[in-house]
Amino acid sequence: MFLFSWVIVVTHLNIQPGDHIELKGQVAPDAKSFAVNLGRSGLDLALYFNPRFESQGDAWTIVCNSLQKGEWGEEQREPRFPFQQGQEGKMTFSFDAQEMCVTLQEHLELTFPNRLGLETISFLSVEGDFKVTSLKFK
């Protein structure tokens, strides 16, 4: 069995509307799920982005949500799933006053409401069955 369990936390960012966060990495061969979190802090997330290969009753589904003062919002599920276990994953994140935008594997675009109305992203974390190999801020 091949196990990944990675956690990366980046704080004190100053990501503005129109800026991009490019994330590349390796999905574990036996991945169950991973998550990318963007927001003000670990308790205030404008975007909880959680690809689930087989986790919490979901299979091959991307779950998005927000977390405000420790309270979860309503989940949004995306059945289009471009990730493969054991393969490279590429994600680009951006946002504006209305929505969070995610481009996956350079071709699939998803949006999620900016429920917190964030004007700056200062917190990013990546956790789970995904090993980050490149993180760029543009």
Q: Is 19 a domain residue?
A: yes
Domain count, the chain: 1
Read off the CATH number of the domain in which 37 is found: 2.60.120.200
Q: Is 1 a domain residue?
A: no
Please give the average pLDDT of every successive group of 10 residues along the chain, which has 138 residues: 70 97 96 97 97 90 96 96 96 97 94 96 97 96
Domain that holds residue 112: 6-137
pLDDT of residue 7: 87
pLDDT of residue 5: 66
pLDDT of residue 42: 94
Q: How far apart are CA 50 and CA 9, in angstroms?
A: 16
**Angle value at C-alpha 45, between 68 and 52, nearest 5 degrees:** 115
Q: How far apart are CA 122 and CA 70, in angstroms?
A: 17
pLDDT of residue 84: 96
